[in-house]
Amino acid sequence: MRSNLQFPIYLDNNATTPVDPRVLQEFLPYYQQHFGNAASRTHAYGWMAEEAVELARERVARLIGAVPQEIVFTSGATEGVNLAIKGVAEMYQGKGNHIITCVTEHKAVIDTCKHLEKKGVEITWLPVNAAGLPDLQELEQAIRPTTILLAMMYANNETGVILPIAAIGQIAKKHGVLFFTDATQAVGKLPVAVQADGIDLLTLSAHKFYGPKGVGALYVRRRDPRVKLTPQLDGGGHERGMRSGTLNVPGIVGLGKAAELCRVEMPAESIRLEQLRNLLQENLLSLPGVELNGDPLNRLPHTLNLSFADRDSNSLLLHFNKTIALSAGSACTSATLEPSYVLKAMGFPDQRAYSALRFGLGRFTTEEEIMQVIQLFREFYPSVNTTGKTTTI
């Protein structure tokens, strides 16, 4: 049988995903035939664009258990993070100036909180255990009368570890504190329910679940409690005044279609991806010195983070770069030579953090590709001597 393999095999779906052809087909017409501005309410071009935007809003809301009026379109998750955290810090400064977050958050959250810290906002940085999970008792004890926000990610972008979101939501509700979650890695991969989980603000990005780059959304709760944000972009009053700027109609249409496909296909797809990930995990863990990073149970179905003893992740990436597309961790920090701050925060020594690779499977990953990756690693290991220097392959 003829192989359909194409190299390098793409296993970096946590960084970004290819646009699903069905998504591409839906949003392409909005660049030419239906190019209207959704804010133009005096002619058919504008009406058509507005109608497409509202359909997308409904689709995104349905995916996370929200109502359409709670969806604010953004340029992506980083903007959503900034709008949520800075918007709350400014709007609720009369109530307090204390925010609680976690040391393993994405850099978008960490850097936003550091920015606010310089402006006098007090930030509590919660540690995590070896599984990558914060202590909920410690979280609750950190809440003060001046606490206005808990900012805790839904699932970690490097290890795939899923945080106990519903329990965190209950703690926030109990103390009258707003709860924001960066769900960029979780939406489209896990069933997310903002109402059931007590989430007040949530950010997502289309390109993480087979939509276009440069578009995302922020969920903002409308009642119990009604969340108010100080906008970070002024001018025009778009998106109920929370995010001014001409809407990216093609991108929003693509986001909506991607959300709808995930809602329908996610249950079966999650099972398939978990099976492929477990196949990869079992085979790679059988190699000498390979260790699993993160909670073995509470993980995203498509994510695998492994450390390769006495190996350097950069040398591994260099060796496999023509055959497998991988990363050593977050795409936002992959250019640095520092060990993963996430794995360091989990208490791992530098060597284990330096030797970590992240495998991110996706909708278009096949069993044939996984078997080929396993074979490539099996071939590589006998070619490495005890000093860790690569010899002939």
Residues annotated catalytic, as ranges = 332
Task: Estimate the crossing angle of helix 249-285 against helix 367-380, to 10 degrees.
Answer: 50
Give the three-class secondary structure for 170. Answer: helix
C-beta atoms surrounding 220 within 10 Å: 25
| φ, ψ of residue 187 in degrees (nearest 5) | -60, 130
In the numeric block, the tokens 């080929």 are attached to 372
Which has the closest alpha carbon to 66: 74, 57, 75?
57
* DSSP letter for each residue of 264-329: HHHHHHHHHHHHHHHHHHHHHHTSTTEEE-S-SSSB-TTEEEEEETT--HHHHHHHHTTTEE-BSS
Q: Report the alpha-carbon distance of residue 353 to residue 376 in Å, rounded.
A: 22
Residue 233 near residue 80 (C-beta atoms within 8 A): no
Q: Report the alpha-carbon distance of residue 178 to residue 171 in Å, rounded.
A: 10
Residue 218 near residue 80 (C-beta atoms within 8 A): yes
Query: What b/e sequence results for 292-305 when a residue is b if at least 16 CB atoms lie within 10 Å of its CB, and e otherwise?
Result: ebbbeeebbbbbbb
